[in-house]
């Protein structure tokens, strides 16, 4: 019986399933349980990107609208900022949603993008369902989510 537990643990570690997402912009660990098994809106941004700055209020509004509805909005800094640099950049842009310090691209097999902003919609099973290039609105993302969830 004990060997089954060991095998299961090894498989979980090897697959990366259930692994935490690392730190957020405030230095807090983002636990797997906070984001797994729900839809994700993952937005890549940079402080030097004009459209990224413009869409932050829309993403903040979207994050508020979706609270408790099985969808989380998270950001990722394109330049790989960490620690105080990430916190400062997120504050300067007025980001109110969680910003992951560690890029989740490997976890979801996201392609490396050359354009910003870029937003991915990932379903509750971890499958990328949509790639949105350019500035987005809360209404536009909500509409896409509704269509994807119903299909």
> pTM, whole model, 2 decimals?
0.86
Tell me the C-alpha to C-alpha distance, in Å, between residue 106 and each of 38, 73, 92, 103.
Answer: 18, 18, 28, 8
Domain at 99, CATH number:
3.40.30.10
pLDDT in tens, 30-55: 999 999 999 999 999 999 999 999 99
Strands lying side by side in the sheet with 39-45? 98-100, 71-77, 39-45, 118-122, 128-133
Write out the residue range of the structural domain in which residue 102 sits.
20-150
Q: How confident is the model at residue 129 (pLDDT cuts 50, 70, 90)?
A: very high
Q: What distance in Å separates the CA atoms of residue 127 and residue 151, rounded to the nearest whole number?
A: 14
Q: How confident is the model at residue 125 (pLDDT cuts 50, 70, 90)?
A: very high
Tell me if residue 116 falls in helix, strand or coil. Answer: coil
In a domain, 12, yes or no: no
In a domain, 70, yes or no: yes
Q: What distance in Å separates the CA atoms of residue 59 and residue 38, rounded to the nearest whole number?
A: 17
């Amino acid at each position: 019986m004990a060997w089954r537990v060991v095998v299961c643990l090894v498989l979980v570690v090897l697959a990366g399933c259930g692994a935490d997402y690392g730190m957020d912009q405030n230095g807090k660990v983002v636990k797997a349980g906070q984001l797994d098994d729900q839809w994700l809106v993952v937005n890549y941004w940079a402080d030097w990107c004009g459209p990224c700055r413009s869409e932050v209020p829309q993403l903040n509004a979207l994050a508020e609208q979706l609270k408790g509805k099985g969808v989380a909005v998270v950001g990722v800094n394109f330049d790989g900022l960490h620690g105080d640099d990430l916190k400062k950049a997120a504050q300067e842009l007025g980001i109110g949603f969680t910003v992951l310090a560690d890029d989740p691209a490997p976890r979801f097999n996201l392609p490396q993008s050359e354009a910003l902003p870029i937003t991915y919609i990932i379903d509750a099973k971890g499958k990328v369902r949509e790639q949105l290039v350019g500035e987005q609105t809360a209404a536009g993302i909500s509409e896409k989510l509704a269509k994807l969830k119903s299909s």
